[in-house]
């Protein structure tokens, strides 16, 4: 079944079948276009439309009707199609914006997590450095205490060494005095019995032995102190 388009009031309308054209009360001068036409024709030029024509006193002037109908496309109103396309474009644009916002939020959250991770690592590193500094301070403090302790021991050994030297010197003097007493005890004295003389000699000999032993002990102690002092240097 053929479908026809009309040109009314400078507007292309249709398509219509023959029954619908009959209701339109077209005349022989009504501009008509149908698929297969090269250009617009009047209804009077189309053989199958002549039976439904209504004649008018004066013909409708046809001017500048050379184009195919443009307000309809495949039977659909072009304005409606445009509105649908605009609506689809708005929906597509909205989806794009929503997707962009969603990706932006995801990227922000990811960046925040990375920042939190970096801050946590920095905090751990800072705490580690602080512990290392405290450990170093304690080590230095402990070393200082150890140095002071060693120094006090060395000072004590030095004082002991001086005392030992003084004691050895005094012991030698006492030994010499004991030797002099022995010589005196061996000499002749008036009013002294042989028993008394023997007793004095024995006492002087014993005194000499005591000082010899004391000197030997002091020398041993002196040697031990010297070893400690040499090790501390």
Instruction: Return all residues near 70 (Cβ < 8 A) that are at least 6 apart.
Output: 12, 78
Which of 221, 170, 216 lies closest to 229 in space, CA to CA?
A: 221
Give SS3 for 46: coil
Average of per-residue pLDDT values in the chain: 83
Sign, Cα dihedral of 171, 176, 182, 188: negative
pLDDT tens digit sequence for 20-31: 888 888 888 888
The per-residue pLDDT string of the chain (233 residues; one tens digit each, 9 = 90 and over) reads 788 888 877 888 888 888 888 888 888 888 889 888 888 888 888 888 888 887 554 444 444 444 445 555 555 566 778 888 888 889 998 999 888 888 888 888 888 888 888 888 888 888 888 888 888 888 888 888 888 888 888 899 899 999 999 999 999 999 999 999 999 888 877 778 888 889 989 999 999 999 999 999 999 999 999 999 898 77
* Residue 60, both tokens: 């409708």
Query: So what's the pLDDT on residue 172?
Result: 95
For the chain, what are the domain ranges?
4-73, 147-232
Query: So what's the pLDDT on residue 140?
Result: 81
């Amino acid at each position: 079944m053929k479908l026809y388009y009309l040109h009314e009031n400078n507007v292309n309308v249709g398509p219509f079948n023959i029954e619908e054209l009959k209701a339109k009360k077209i005349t022989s001068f009504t501009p008509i276009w149908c698929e297969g036409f090269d250009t617009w024709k009047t209804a009077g030029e189309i053989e199958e439309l002549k039976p439904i024509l209504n004649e008018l006193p004066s013909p409708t002037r046809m001017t500048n009707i050379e184009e195919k109908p443009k307000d309809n496309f495949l039977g659909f109103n072009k304005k409606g199609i445009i509105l649908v396309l605009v609506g689809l474009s708005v929906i597509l644009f909205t989806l794009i914006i929503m997707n962009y916002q969603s990706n932006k939020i995801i990227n922000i959250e990811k960046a925040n997590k990375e920042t939190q991770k970096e801050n946590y690592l920095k905090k751990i590193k800072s705490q580690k450095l602080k512990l290392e500094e405290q450990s170093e301070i304690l080590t230095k403090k402990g070393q200082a205490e150890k140095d002071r302790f060693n120094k006090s021991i060395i000072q004590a050994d030095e004082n002991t060494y001086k005392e030992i030297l003084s004691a050895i010197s005094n012991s030698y003097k006492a030994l010499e005095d004991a030797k002099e007493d022995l010589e005196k005890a061996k000499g002749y004295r008036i009013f002294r019995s042989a028993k008394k003389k023997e007793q004095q000699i024995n006492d002087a000999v014993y005194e000499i032995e005591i000082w010899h032993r004391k000197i030997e002990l002091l020398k041993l102690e002196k040697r031990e102190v010297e070893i400690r002092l040499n090790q501390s240097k």
